[in-house]
Amino acid sequence: MSEDTFEIGGRILSSRLFTGTGKYGDDSVIPDVCQASGSEVITVALRRVDLESATGNVMDFIPKHMQLLPNTSGARTADEAVRIARLARAMGCGDWIKIEVISDNRYLLPDGFETVKATEILAKEGFVVLPYVNADLYVAKALVDAGAAAVMPLGAPIGTNRGLKTREMVRILIEEIDLPIVVDAGIGRPSEACEAMEMGADAVLVNTAIATASDPVMMARAFGRAVRAGREAYLSGPGAKRVLADASSPLTGFLGGAA
């Protein structure tokens, strides 16, 4: 099989597993997680970045080859997301931005309307915008029109590890949206990441499931392998599911294959 890559914002990516930096008991594990997972894209909350810190900074632990994906965690409106994105760029975090607009601290569900607004503004300013949204076809279409570089539907609410609860909606996005689909949030086990990839998702983003595992490095490796397995299964064209058993002694064999 030739190298299976995909492109976001002009960058060719080999790994289809995006990772995160939140929730680790010790940030010094991040380089090992990156290596074990094979991930090339890592998200970081700008609210936690402190370039002038005397006490250590999460950025110090992100390997240089990684594509940094700062996120707008904490933004409650499009306006706040835009401001955070501009700050991220001004602080030297690059042009990629993951839009998170969450005005519901009870369930942490993303606000699609505000996300589209922020995407439109930031895409015009030259950002590579990866919006985190509900798995909603109309929001996804609006994001395409707004200039998003990918669409990141949730599998389940953030941090729940509940798996691919939005399976059918994500499947529709994969069929209908001509942008990379990155399943973000809710994936709790490697098998669920594998399932998303088997369905044809372009990538998955996993943070909580790795960061809160007893052995984050081993879990990162497991996710890396599961994502590759799922991708290969998708590319190999799995056989169709059947309602009835495929009889080894067909009842119409006497027709001599003329049917």
Partner 1 sequence: MSFHPLIAAYAEGLPDARFDDFTEQDVRRAMNRTTATAEDFMALMSPAASSLIEEMAQKASRLTVQHFGKTVSLFTPLYLANFCTNHCVYCGFNCTNSIHRSKLTLEEVDAEGAAIAATGLKNLLILTGDAPAKTGVDYLEACTRVLNRHFPSVSIEVFALTEEEYARLVRAGVDGMTMFQETYDEELYAVLHPKGPKRDYRFRLDAPERACRAGMRVVNIGALLGLGDWRRDALLTGLHAAYLMHEYPETDIAVSLPRMRPHVGDWEPATIVSDRDMVQFLMALRLFLPRVGITISTRENAEFRENILPLGVTRMSAGVSTAVGGHADGTGDEENTGQFDISDARGVDEVCAALRAKGYQPVFKDWEPIFETAGEGA
DSSP 169-237: HHHHHHHH-SS-BEEES---SHHHHHHHHHHT-SEEEESHHHHTSSSHHHHHHHHHHHHHHHHHHHHT-
Applying CB under 8 A, does 134 fall inside the site for partner 1?
no
Among 4, 7, 12, 23, binds partner 1 (CB under 8 A): 23
Paired tokens of 84: 């955070």
Residue in 181, 188, 200 with CA at minimum distance from that of residue 139: 181
Alpha-carbon Rg for the chain, nearest whole angstrom, is 20
Considering the complex, state which of residue 47 and residue 225 has its C-beta at the smaller distance from partner 1: 47
212 appears as a binding residue in the annotation: no
Applying CB under 8 A, does 124 fall inside the site for partner 1?
no
Locus of tokens 């590319």: 235
Considering the complex, state which of residue 104 and residue 168 has its C-beta at the smaller distance from partner 1: 104
Applying CB under 8 A, does 189 fall inside the site for partner 1?
no
Applying CB under 8 A, does 76 fall inside the site for partner 1?
yes
Residue 23 Cβ, how far from partner 1 at the closest point, in Å? 2
Q: In angstroms, how far apart are the furthest CA atoms of the chain? A: 82
* Cβ pair 187, 210 in contact under 8 A: no
43 appears as a binding residue in the annotation: no
Among 11, 32, 147, 160, binds partner 1 (CB under 8 A): 160
**CA 28, 33, 38, 39 torsion-angle sign:** negative
* Cβ pair 54, 243 in contact under 8 A: no
Applying CB under 8 A, does 242 fall inside the site for partner 1?
no
Applying CB under 8 A, does 71 fall inside the site for partner 1?
no
Residue 178 Cβ, how far from partner 1 at the closest point, in Å? 30
Applying CB under 8 A, does 241 fall inside the site for partner 1?
no
Which are the catalytic amino acids?
Answer: 98
Binding annotation: 159, 185-186, 207-208
Binding site for partner 1 (CB under 8 A): 22-27, 46-50, 53-55, 74-76, 80, 83-84, 86-87, 89-90, 103-108, 159-161, 208, 211-212
